[in-house]
Chain A
Amino acid sequence: MTPGLLEAPPERGPVTHRPNGPVPPPPPPTGGGDGPEREPWPRRPALDNLRLAVLFLIGSESMFFAALIAGLFVLRLGQPLWPPPFQPRLPVGVTGVNTLVLLASSVTMVGAVRALVRGEENLLVKRLVAAAGLGALFLVVQGYEWARLIGYGLTVSGGAYGATFYTLIGAHAAHVFGALVWLGATLVLASRGRFRHGRTAPVKACAMFWHFVVGLWPILYVAVYLL
């Protein structure tokens, strides 16, 4: 018979008991790997494919933003004064409130996943709508502040201050927008009742990425606005 195309797990051999216990294990293999033991069996992975993948996506995105933040610090340490003189100041207060809005969306997302686990579908949809609404509000306020800053003369080509601000905050806004699209798709599927019968991984994966883009924002707020 062809090795490998086993039809079924082979049955165990006759166990010849000894006074001191079961038969000693067969000699260890010579070619690497750990020794043969009980019949192989499909493992239950600790985390389903989707959430594992989102975890690695978050790792990759973290490196992307780490490079941007490192760039910001390198540039600002090379400047005698930061923020540079004769440049508009960033709206720390409004953005601080906006930070709270985004953090609140993460809280509602936690509630949404809790509702999902409990099987309360209406509550899930409501909380997803609330999270998406808060996220959208954050983006709108950010866009409004951007428009005002451009009006005050903070431009992307006017020097390191504007360049770093627009690149970092723009990269984050793009991620919030992407997460919002993902959340919208999840919301549509949830309202159609696609996450019943324990099929919870897609919502949880979406929530993981949402928490990532939310959790990233306070770091950027401190690095770009406050420091």
Chain B
Amino acid sequence: MSATGATAHAHVGHAGHHELGFIRTYIFSTDHKMIARQFLFMGLFMMIIGGLLALVVRWELAWPETAVPGLSMILTETGGILEPSQYNMAFTMHATIMIFFVIMPILAGAFGNFCIPLMIGARDMAFPVLNMLSFWVGALAGVLMLAGFFVPGGHAAAGWTSYAPLSAVPEYTGVKWGQNLWCISLFVLGISSMMGAINYITTIINMRAPGMKLFRMPLVIWSLFITAILLLLALPVLTSGVAMLLFDRTLGTSWFKPSGGGEPLLWQHLFWYFGHPEVYILILPAMGIASEILPVFCRKPIFGYHAMAFSMIAIAFLSWVVYGHHMFVSGMSPALGMAFTVTTMIIAVPSAIKTFNWLGTLWGARIRFTVPMLNALAFVSMFVIGGLSGIFMASTPVDIYIQDTYFIVAHIHYVVFGGSIFGAFAAIYYWFPKMFGRMTNTVLGHLHFWPTFVFFNLTFFPMHIIGVGGQMRRIYNPMQYEFLQHQQHWNVFITVSAFCLGLGQIPFVVNFFWSLFAGKKAPLNPWNSNTLEWTAPSPPPHLNWGPTLPMVYRGPYEYSSPESRDDWLPQTAPPVTAAGARRH
């Protein structure tokens, strides 16, 4: 630290002497804040593609085999009517893009990069060049993934889980290079996320400002730390899995093909061994963001700081021993299924600790209903619904009935949209002033939040109903099944809500770009928050602070402390002396 501190000071001394060119500032930047913005823009761009794919899927389910508006230009030979193979491609790529190229880049990529150095009081990441490489390798993965739409045979169409042997033999889906590109892209993304994770962990362990002890770190840093460990250890398993899948498809190996002595179930094991930690990779940063925003707008300390940190550690640990609950119907031994049921149920304990701590934070507070706070509250409430529906599927007897139905789709969207995306929106509204130096528009923020919240529930809650009613996932035309026809009106309702949900994002886009260029200049600390990033200028310059780093004297959530006349007490405020006066 002393050596790095010395070099950082030397850099500060030279900072005024040379200006970096356009390319070094905006494209191949090693500044963690610019890389964070790059990740954010990448994620938001991919969100548009993933969202449009979802609307295509919804249209097909509500009005099967009719022309999708706007698609007649792309699908000229059918006049806009989706073919079954194209429908498969749409839902596969919707999930793949949303998980790997929207939520991971925004939550772990953008806010990981932005928050970690600023909130622990570091000038930059431990390895800035590695950080830049992490983004550009990730962007390459994104380009490879998008390239799959343009190859003959179409993109991957075996679901985002790409179960073998459906995905392992090109003849089964008729997809040749699309699935190969899917594998290559995820392999490349694995390398990118490994570089990012190593950087995050090293930075958090070694680069904290003086006085920033582990249990003085903001909870969002705790969550990103744990997320990075999960990324570091879970992604390589997927990486080796997709490498095997790619070899099966291109070199003729038989890892997953029974014809050559392979084992299709091996893919499910590898995939879900990665896949379950992956869902916590998606939700943990959002949990951290909510834990960060709730105390600020409640003007109260977080309830149970240590319990929050330890419950995240417990969730991360348990995420390694529950993956079998994705495979209850794969012919697993009932005794093993029972074991996975129990471990999965245990996850409810740390999750409930977190939920009750959030409620404890809200209890009795005079809440400021700002736009980031509304999104954080939406996160908490939607996460509770998503978490409770998860308990249904943790239980083997129930899961055998509801597996592969829309109940599962409802659950995943309640945790991933209701959880992670609301967390991402909360984070964008909360840190936008620091990130871009301008305030977002509150009216547009409300115009974005309320339709999103309402139509989110109208879209995804009825999916529980049609799921219990028997509607399967990934079917092209529900009207083909007599027992599903009586609930087709729900599919129409969901689709109309989904389109309204899509339209509800327009105020966000307008707000984002309008505020970026014409928003009110952001003050240093617009939310009167305690954490270190608000002591740096908005937006923070290269190397974040002036010649001296902030010093940390206290925990991050000392709101309404009796020690202070204000209702906030920054982490940099020195302790009160025996005489009772705070010394500056």
Does A1 make an interface contact (CB < 8 A)?
yes
Q: Is the CB of A44 within 8 A of B1?
A: yes
Q: How far apart sit A30 and B560, CA to CA, in the bound complex (Å)? A: 9
Residue in A2, A63, A164 whose CB lies within 8 Å of B233: A63
Rounded to whole angstroms, the CA-CA distance of A164 and B256 in the bound complex is 11
The interface-forming segment of B239-247, B418-426, B445-453 is B239-247
Stretch at the interface among B47-55, B279-287, B484-492, B576-584: B576-584
Instruction: Return B567 CB to nearest CB of chain A, in Å.
Output: 11
Is chain B's interface secondary structure helix, strand, loop, or mixed overall?
loop
Question: Would you give 8 A-B contacts (Cβ < 8 Å), ordered by A?
Answer: A4-B570, A13-B577, A13-B579, A31-B558, A39-B211, A52-B205, A56-B202, A84-B261
A118 to chain B, nearest CB (A): 21
Contacts beyond the supplied A9-B551, A33-B557, A157-B251: 13 A-B pairs with Cβ under 8 Å: A3-B535, A3-B572, A26-B575, A32-B557, A44-B1, A47-B206, A57-B194, A60-B197, A74-B266, A78-B263, A157-B252, A157-B253, A167-B253
Stretch of A64-72, A134-142, A186-194 contacting B (4+ beta carbons < 8 Å) = A64-72
A101 to chain B, nearest CB (A): 26
Query: Is B126 located at the chain interface by the 8 A CB criterion?
Result: yes
The residues in A between 6 and 31 inclusive whose CB is less than 8 angstroms from any CB of B are 6-10, 13-14, 16, 23-24, 26-27, 29-31
Task: Report if B254 contacts A (CB, 8 A).
Answer: yes
A43 CB contacts on chain B under 8 angstroms: 1, 208, 210
Is A122 an interface residue when CB atoms closer than 8 A count as contact? no
Report A-chain residues with C-beta under 8 Å of the C-beta of B559: 31
Separation in Å of the B495 CB from the closest CB of chain A? 39
What is the bound-complex CA distance between A199 and B480, given in angstroms? 71
At the interface, yes or no: A85 with Cβ under 8 Å from chain B?
no
CB pair A40 B199 closer than 8 Å: no
Choose from B126, B532, B557, B579 the contact partner of A31 (Cβ within 8 Å).
B557
Residues of A within 8 A of B (CB): 1-10, 13-14, 16, 23-24, 26-27, 29-34, 36, 39-45, 47-49, 52-53, 56-57, 59-61, 63-68, 70-71, 74-75, 78-79, 84, 156-164, 166-167, 171
Q: Which of B151-159, B298-306, B346-354 contacts A (4 or more CB under 8 A)?
A: B298-306
**CA–CA, A97 and B458, complex, Å:** 67
Contact B554 A33 (CB under 8 A): yes
State the main secondary structure of chain A at its contact with B. loop
Cross-chain contact B213 with A71 (CB below 8 angstroms): no
User: In the bound complex, what is the Cα–Cα distance between A43 and B4 (angstroms)?
Assistant: 11
Question: In whole angstroms, what is the CA distance A74 to B269 when docked?
Answer: 10
Of residues A29, A57, A156, which shows the largest number of chain B Cβ atoms within 10 Å of its Cβ?
Answer: A29
Q: Kindly identify which residue among A5, A13, A52 contacts B550, using a CB–CB cutoff of 8 Å.
A: A5
